[in-house]
Amino acid sequence: MRRGWPAALVAVLLLVAACSGGAPSGPAASPTETAGAAMLNNPVLGQGADPFVVFTDGQYHQVLSSGNDLVMRRATSLATLSTAPEQTIFTGGADGSPCCEWWAPEVHQIGGRWYVYVAADDGDNENHRTYVLSADTITGPYAFEGQLQLPGDRWAIDATVFAVGDVSYVAWSGWPGDKNGEQDLYLAQLSSPTKVAGKAVRISRPELAWETHAGDVGVLVNEGPAALVRDRRVFLTYSGSGCWTPEYALGMLTADASANLLDPASWTKSPEPVFAPAEGSGLYGTGHNNFFTSPDGTQTWLVYHAVTTPEGSCGDDREVYAQPITFAADGTPQLGTPSAGDVPLPSGDPGR
């Protein structure tokens, strides 16, 4: 297998979210005292969609789908992140970049530099492609590196990157053809943070009952991949069913880290969703997740968007929730159930 660049991914990852969210807003999460422990009120991060959070340099950094610009918030506590000042780190149309519909940005540190992977278009959804920005620091200024030339040059969103040893990969959601009707998950190897090496393979398509809810739109969806690499296995969560349906939920693909990840047979799909709307939670459309690490490095946290509308929604009413996850004895992630109530502060978080 061809070797890639070093595995210096600080952000433990990554749609579809073919529907972009509004600019992040909403009330701050207020810590309360419950059983003597500082707690946060979900939705911790207020209004928004397609969330990505990474903790680095003593601060949480958050990016979301935010229209035609890339906007970042940062704070020392998850309790104050939703009301931290917004910083525009890149403006659509600058440096020859696409103007519009910047969806599902992710920020990763690779080889000492920071890279943003994001989908954008020229105002026509059919022209959505994946683009890369880079900077010396996480807050920028960012330079436009151009389009990530994914094999086939088709519609592609929700790109995430991860490394297994010294081999690096990009996973994304894309159309199998030139027309909108189905979104599948694809994987390719990277030769550098901005270049793909070799072919792309399809590792998942919507085929199980839980991931084929399409509502009146009629589009079948697998999107929003996010990776965890641990205990000699690769876990790739993803969102299944349309984000406009209440059944939008998270599935999971699993592969042995020593396997040929570019062989679709290396991946096993969980037969049921691993994180889905739960009766009594009041949350629907619980999807497009990512993972981040607590300030002291001892916990893995799940961040995702959801709505309180029983009919489901892929609009500006989406809000961002966060909660810690656990791991089974064999290392398999246990995401739990969606929580609209209090959650504890991440370990090492100083609070308000």
Q: Which residues are catalytic?
A: 50, 223
Residue 94: DSSP 8-state? G
Tokens (6 digits) for 206: 């919507």
CA atoms within 13 A on the CB side of 147: 17
Cis peptide before 43 (omega within 30 of 0): yes
In angstroms, rounded to a whole number, what is the distance separating the alpha carbons of residues 135 and 281?
40
In angstroms, rounded to a whole number, what is the distance separating the alpha carbons of residues 234 and 238?
13
Name beta bridge partners: 306.
Answer: 319
Of the candidates 313, 290, 286, the one whose C-alpha atom is nearest the C-alpha of residue 159 is: 290
Give me the residue label for tokens 């931290």.
84
Cβ proximity of 191 and 2 under 8 Å: yes
Of the candidates 123, 38, 19, 121, the one whose C-alpha atom is nearest the C-alpha of residue 78 is: 38
Rounded alpha-carbon distances, angstroms, from residue 307 to 47, 182, 196, 277, 282: 10, 23, 36, 10, 8
Q: Are strands 284-293 and 249-256 parallel, antiparallel or unpaired?
A: unpaired
209 backbone φψ class: left, alpha, beta (φ>0; ψ -120 to 50): alpha
Rounded alpha-carbon distances, angstroms, from residue 2 to 196, 197, 277, 283: 11, 8, 41, 44
Consecutive H or E run containing 138: none
The neighbour count for residue 201, using CB atoms within 10 Å, is 18
